[in-house]
Amino acid sequence: MRTALTDLTGVRHPIVQTGMGWVSGPRLVTATARAGALGILASATMSPDQLRSAVREVRSRTDAPFGVNLRADAGDARERVRIIVEEGVRVASFALAPSKELIAELKDAGVVVVPSVGARRHAEKVAAWGADAVIVQGGEGGGHTGNVATTVLLPQVVDAVDIPVIAAGGFHDGRGLVAALAYGAGGVAMGTRFLLTSDSTVPDTVKARYLAATVKDITLTTAVDGLPHRMLRTEMVAELEGAGRLRSLYHALRRASGFRRLSGLSRLGMVRDGRALRHGKELTWSQVLLAANTPMLLKASMVDGRTDLGIMASGQVAALIEDLPSVAELVARVMAEAERTLTVLGAESSRAANSSPSGD
């Protein structure tokens, strides 16, 4: 299936596996690339050296295109951009809008730039700055998300920009892919669906919690870091929502220290990142400190399997997922279902046309 996304990135199928911290590592990205979709390495939870090593690991396993996701506001963003360029990575995606200068630097090196956005005005801004495409995530999506549904946000952005738009938030099958294409998107991006595959390194006990979730078990909370964050409702989420400020800050500082050691960031670097996080947002310094909680709370679940101590970011679509296929099986299934859906729609359109009264 050829679309603006496949033409831009060189992949066979218009499907993107998003960059999820502690989840989108070399194993998952390699499996996605081999399956013909666009795998994205999540670099925010890696040190620069770990990122370079992860890129080389994927490259050693496949010659298919893949990408790297990074935070544009991170203090070492330019160092990570240099790694992307030096290692010949095809796509750079961003959780936050990159600067005009950062976009230009990547494009000059032949890297495809794909920021993620949650509002039309943000898409218009990065498009004007030279972004090659945008991932548009509606409020159904997991992790940090907005409050506008994909079915409203997606057509807004498609109508506002002249670059390929990739739809995210609420997608898990071929029917969703066809719906996104009908809105004018060039493909779909999926996180939770790729997390719930046999190629994902997330512990089986954690995957079981996702598979058992109903729509009512997936919540949107600001208790973790002061920003809207969609995740499974767990004991930890309930504890965070009921915790007082001093208790929350105490635990946040401990986990922030742990993340500093894992990521290789200096204390000064974390302060710079905190300032960048506050920029343009009405966050107190207390909320910034709580934001440092997030990587370690995610690691507790996604790596250590401690669902009692961690959080589990999740799109609402988790309530519709019931199995753990391999990535190759998943991508093949999505594409086959999309083709069947298009065939059925074409047949129904033909029948409707043939049954119209003469002269209509």
In the predicted structure, residue 138 carries a pLDDT above the cut 90: yes
Q: Report pLDDT digits (tens) over 70-84.
A: 999 888 999 999 999
pLDDT bucket at 115, cuts 50 / 70 / 90: very high
Answer whether 165's CB lies under 8 Å from 186's CB. Answer: yes
Angstrom distance (rounded) from CA 268 to CA 275: 11
Angstrom distance (rounded) from CA 41 to CA 90: 12
Specify the pLDDT at position 12. 98
Q: Average of pLDDT values for 100-107? A: 96
What one-letter code names the amino acid at 175?
A: R
Indicate the range of 9-23, 32-46, 198-212, 341-355 predicted with least confidence: 341-355
> Tokens in use for 326?
């391999």
Going from the N-terminus, what domains does the chain have, and what CATH number goes with each?
Answer: 4-201+325-345 (3.20.20.70), 215-316 (no CATH)
Grouping H, G, I as helix, E, B as strand and the rest as coil, residue 168 is: strand
Angstrom distance (rounded) from CA 17 to CA 11: 12
pLDDT bucket at 224, cuts 50 / 70 / 90: confident
Q: Beta partners for 93?
A: 69, 114
pTM of the complete model: 0.89
Specify the pLDDT at position 346. 92
Q: Report pLDDT digits (tens) over 301-316.
A: 999 999 988 899 999 9
Specify the pLDDT at position 74. 85
Specify the pLDDT at position 285. 61
In the predicted structure, residue 289 carries a pLDDT above the cut 90: no
Helices and strands, counts by H and E, the chain: 16, 11
Answer whether 23's CB lies under 8 Å from 55's CB. Answer: no
Q: How many CB atoms lie within 10 A of CB 323?
A: 11
Q: How many CB atoms lie within 10 A of CB 122?
A: 18
Phi, psi dihedrals of residue 232, rounded to the nearest 5°: -70, 140
Specify the pLDDT at position 73. 82
Specify the pLDDT at position 226. 76
> Tokens in use for 263?
């990521």
Answer whether 68's CB lies under 8 Å from 84's CB. Answer: yes
Q: Nearest-CA neighbor of 62 among 41, 32, 40, 84?
A: 32
Q: Nearest-CA neighbor of 118 among 228, 42, 210?
A: 228
In the predicted structure, residue 327 carries a pLDDT above the cut 90: yes
Angstrom distance (rounded) from CA 210 to CA 348: 36
Phi, psi dihedrals of residue 190, rounded to the nearest 5°: -130, 135
Specify the pLDDT at position 351. 83
What one-letter code names the amino acid at 130?
A: G
How would you class 305 by CB atoms within 10 Å of its CB: exposed for 0-12, middle for 13-18, buried for 19 or more? middle
Specify the pLDDT at position 353. 83
Report the percent of the chain where pLDDT is more than 70: 84
Specify the pLDDT at position 256. 58
Give one DSSP letter per residue of 274-296, joined into a string: HHHHHTTS---HHHHHHHTHHHH
Q: Nearest-CA neighbor of 118 among 41, 189, 212?
A: 189
> Tokens in use for 20?
């999820």
Specify the pLDDT at position 236. 80
Q: Report pLDDT digits (tens) over 233-260.
A: 988 888 778 776 666 666 666 655 655 5
Q: Report pLDDT digits (tens) over 1-33.
A: 999 999 999 999 999 999 999 999 999 999 999
Q: Average of pLDDT values for 169-174? A: 98
In the predicted structure, residue 268 carries a pLDDT above the cut 90: no
Q: Cα-Cα-Cα-Cα dihedral of 260, 26, 168, 273, to 10°?
A: 20
Specify the pLDDT at position 225. 77
